[in-house]
Amino acid sequence: MALKVIGAGFGRTGTNSLKVALEQLGLKPCHHMKEVGPSLNQIRWFDAASKGEPVDWDAVFENFEAAVDWPAAAYYLELAEHFPQAKVILSVRDPESWYKSTRETIYAVGKAMPYWLKWLIPPVKRLTQMVQRTVWQGVFAGDFENRDSAIQCFNSHIRRVKESIPADRLLVHAAKEGWEPLCNFLGKPVPKTPYPRVNEARDLKLVVLILKLLAWLPVLLAAALAYYLFL
């Protein structure tokens, strides 16, 4: 199965809503970061890609008709060349709101990941290192916390995609534009249901809170052990 749609937009530009929309239009399953974490093969493949090693993209996307979000978006140009019949969708969002959302969610998750959890569960360590190399070091050159630099990178990416992908193969799409431009681009009938509005921000912020609490677990266990030994 060859990819029919390649998402070039950064994470937190409505990529989860786009995933649901594409699947509703019959392009399923749609690859997303959600598919990477639970799969040892996906982690291994994208870990290799993040190190500049050759990757068999046909194997990576063997069971997928579309791909959006990180980490696939980091390789949009390579994927566009590998799957020449695939159309490219660049999901966009107001740069200021994108930065705020990204910093409070997916970036915060990586920062909050406890060291002991990565040590205890090797795939978690490999996944976090892959994301670090691919996104925070690769795309943002280690400067994501610099708001101006990150937003400049965001805007530069949009310009590069527009310059590198032929106009007849590219759709620049904001979630607020809904079904019509997406369906016209893909040659699909417009669904009667509203365009998906999937907002993961609340769930991701809860994950950040849980990870921060888990970071204290070894300290609490050590304190409990010391109390028991010296009681």
pLDDT in tens, 153-168: 999 999 999 999 999 9
Using pLDDT thresholds of 50, 70 and 90, give the confidence band for residue 222.
very low
Note whether 6 and 87 are within 8 A (CB).
yes
* Architecture (CATH level 2) of domain 5-230: 3-Layer(aba) Sandwich (3.40)
Give the pair of three-digit tokens for residue 12: 């937190």
Q: Is the dihedral of CA 131, 137, 142, 144 positive or negative?
A: negative
pTM for this model (two decimals): 0.89
Note whether 36 and 127 are within 8 A (CB).
yes
pLDDT in tens, 136-194: 999 999 999 999 999 999 999 999 999 999 999 999 999 999 999 999 999 999 999 99
Q: What is the mean pLDDT of residues 22-51?
A: 97
- Output b/e per residue, 51-82; b: 16+ Cβ within 10 A: eeeebebeebbeebbbbbbbbbbbbbeebbeb
User: In this model, does residue 227 exceed pLDDT 50?
Assistant: no
Nearest to 36, CA basis, from 100, 135, 131: 131
Using pLDDT thresholds of 50, 70 and 90, give the confidence band for residue 12.
very high
